[in-house]
Amino acid sequence: MPVARINGISLGYDDYGSGEPVVMVTGTGAPGRMWRTHQVPALKAAGYRAITLDNRGIPPSDLCPEGFTLDDMAADVAGLIEYLGVGPCRVVGFSLGSVIVQELLVARPELVREAVLMATCGRADGLITAMSAAEIELCDSGAKVPPRYAAYIQALQNLSPETLNDETKLQDWLDIFEMSAVDLSSIRGQLGLQVFGNRLAAYRGISCPCLVIGFGDDLIVRPHLAREVAESVQDGTYTEISGCGHYGYLEKPESVNAAITYFFGMRRT
């Protein structure tokens, strides 16, 4: 994996394919390779160059134990775009990654041509705030959650009833979650960053065309929060994909990929 020196830190990234570039920003605690199974192949097949990054706090990028902000993370994406010389380009975000992209669109709009924002929000409501506070308290307590229990909780939080009620699919997901269980202490710097004030007024200044994708059964960022973002930006389009939870881009990748490539293709030159 290449590592770039950006904003005084080391930032890991991967670069796939050729063609018009698409930079992909993932969510809390997730490495850039999360895009590799489904979205990277779909983008390459559609003729795009997919660029993924590991946000600060996720190795091999610097952990930055002194702490960091959403503005820092947005500046990292801006720095990577400039480092690679690919701006203005298309950008895709998921969850916290979408919020990072939104802040990038406010701070450095000249770097982004179009954006896709999945499972996003423009304000932290009561449930998001409570979830973040609980995760931080658990992390700081030093308690270790058994991987099997963590997998069960992750499945309930992030998957749709459609998947939970399919015995074979559910077991596959539980196995994946158990094998990839994340120690919250390792992502302490990112915890809580999705708790922020109401930014919808600031997003009204965003003129970049944005596709906002909500997931019908998302319990982490409920679809109405994503719809608010689409309604706030000047050129926003909202679409909702049913039958999937917060991990919709992994649960229903064909539908998500089709929405992304269709949106980009509408304005492709």
Q: What is the 3-state secondary structure (H, E, C) of the chain?
A: CCEEEECCEEEEEEEECCCEEEEEECCCCCCHHHHCCCHHHHHHHCCEEEEEECCCCCCCCCCCCCCCCHHHHHHHHHHHHHHHCCCCEEEEEECHHHHHHHHHHHHCHHHEEEEEEECCCCCCCHHHHHHHHHHHHHHHHCCCCCHHHHHHHHHHHHCCHHHHCCHHHHHHHHHHHHHCCCCHHHHCCCCCCCCCCCCHHHHCCCCCCEEEEEECCCCCCCHHHHHHHHHHCCCEEEEEECCCCCCHHHHCHHHHHHHHHHHHHHCCC
How many residues does the structure list for the chain?
269
Residue type for 133, please? Answer: A
Which entry of 98, 232, 246, 255 is annotated as an active-site residue? 246
pLDDT of residue 192: 84
What kind of fold does domain 3-124+197-266 have according to CATH?
Answer: Rossmann fold (3.40.50)
Q: For residue 269, is pLDDT > 80?
A: no
Q: What number is the average pLDDT over the span 223-251?
A: 98
* Domain coordinates in residue numbering, the chain: 3-124+197-266
246 is catalytic: yes
The residues, any chain, with a CB within 8 Å of residue 5's CB and separated by 6 or more, are 11
Angstrom distance (rounded) from CA 207 to CA 105: 9
Q: Is the pLDDT of residue 232 over 80?
A: yes
Name the catalytic one among 14, 54, 95, 217: 95
pTM for this predicted structure: 0.96
**Alpha-carbon separation of residue 101 from 72, 86, 96, 133, 166 (angstroms):** 12, 16, 9, 23, 34
Distance between CA atoms of residues 230 and 28, nearest Å: 22
147-197 pLDDT, tens digit each: 999 999 999 999 999 999 999 999 999 999 999 877 788 788 899 898 999
Q: Mean pLDDT, to the nearest integer, of 134-150?
A: 92
- Catalytic residue, chosen from 54, 76, 217, 218, is 218
Task: Tell which wins on pLDDT, 59 or 13.
Answer: 13
- 218 catalytic residue (yes or no): yes
The whole-angstrom separation of Cα 214 and Cα 120 is 8
- Nearest Cα to Cα of residue 215 among 153, 130, 166, 158: 158
State pLDDT tens for residues 104-132: 999 999 999 999 999 999 999 999 999 99
d(CA 55, CA 187): 11
Structural tokens at position 7? 């904003």
Alpha-carbon distance 180 to 224, whole Å?
Answer: 30
